């Protein structure tokens, strides 16, 4: 096997994939930043807020959920932490938003990347959204979560504690 031709072919393939990913991600990130600057997510979260009750969340959880869905879990996580520290969302909301986002985050960016390799965008978006909705609804209605939340509120613990019942990550 000729290692130099192998390395050259691998470098070409990697460079081409990097160019394709940059051509997808850069315009999406510019569009998302423009949407953030125009407060489009703020307006949209106001319209989505009534749906949060379906998941067992307060309306205030809509903004962090939408940010995570469109901007990604890293940026969404920062918004969730900020909302929790400021007291805008409860421990329950924080847990359910993170649960939803574990399945359905960065939907625009991920879908575009998978479309580049031939995936069907409708199946990706609807599949991720459906699974996230089912999991979040089941968790939001679980007796275990309600019992843990009640126990947590009786202790008077802070909202920003770890989200696991054992109290650790």
Per-residue pLDDT tens for 70-109?
878 887 888 888 888 888 888 889 999 999 999 998 888 8
Of 97, 98, 100, nearest in space to 132 by CA: 100
Cα–Cα distance between 79 and 42 in angstroms, integer? Answer: 13
53, 90 contact by CB (below 8 A): no
Residue 17 has pLDDT above 50, yes or no: yes
pLDDT value of residue 30: 84
Distance CA 83, CA 80 (A): 5
Token pair 């575009």 in the structure block, residue: 112
Residue-wise pLDDT tens digits, 19-28: 988 887 788 7
Stronger pLDDT, 28 or 134, i.e. the higher one: 134
Q: What is the C-alpha separation between 35 and 24, in angstroms, rounded? A: 17
What global pTM score does this model have? 0.69
Task: Flag the least confident range among 28-42, 112-126, 154-168.
Answer: 154-168
Residue 22 — φ and ψ, nearest 5°?
-65, -40
d(CA 31, CA 16): 23
How far is it, in rounded angstroms, from Cα 41 to Cα 66? Answer: 7
**Is pLDDT of 162 > 80?**
no
């Amino acid at each position: 096997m000729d290692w130099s031709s192998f390395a050259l072919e691998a470098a070409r393939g990697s460079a081409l994939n990097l160019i394709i990913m940059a051509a997808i991600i850069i315009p999406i990130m510019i569009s998302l930043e423009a949407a953030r600057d125009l407060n489009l997510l703020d307006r949209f979260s106001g319209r989505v807020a009534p749906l949060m009750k379906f998941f067992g969340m307060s309306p205030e959880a809509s903004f962090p959920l939408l940010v995570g869905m469109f901007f990604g879990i890293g940026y969404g996580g920062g918004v969730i932490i900020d909302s929790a520290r400021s007291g805008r969302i409860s421990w329950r909301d924080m847990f359910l938003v993170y649960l939803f986002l574990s399945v359905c985050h960065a939907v625009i960016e991920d879908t575009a990347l998978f479309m580049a390799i031939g995936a069907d965008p409708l199946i990706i978006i609807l599949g991720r959204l459906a699974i996230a909705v089912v999991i979040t609804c089941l968790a939001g209605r679980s007796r275990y979560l309600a019992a843990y939340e009640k126990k947590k509120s009786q202790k008077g613990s802070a909202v920003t504690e770890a989200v696991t019942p054992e109290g650790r990550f």
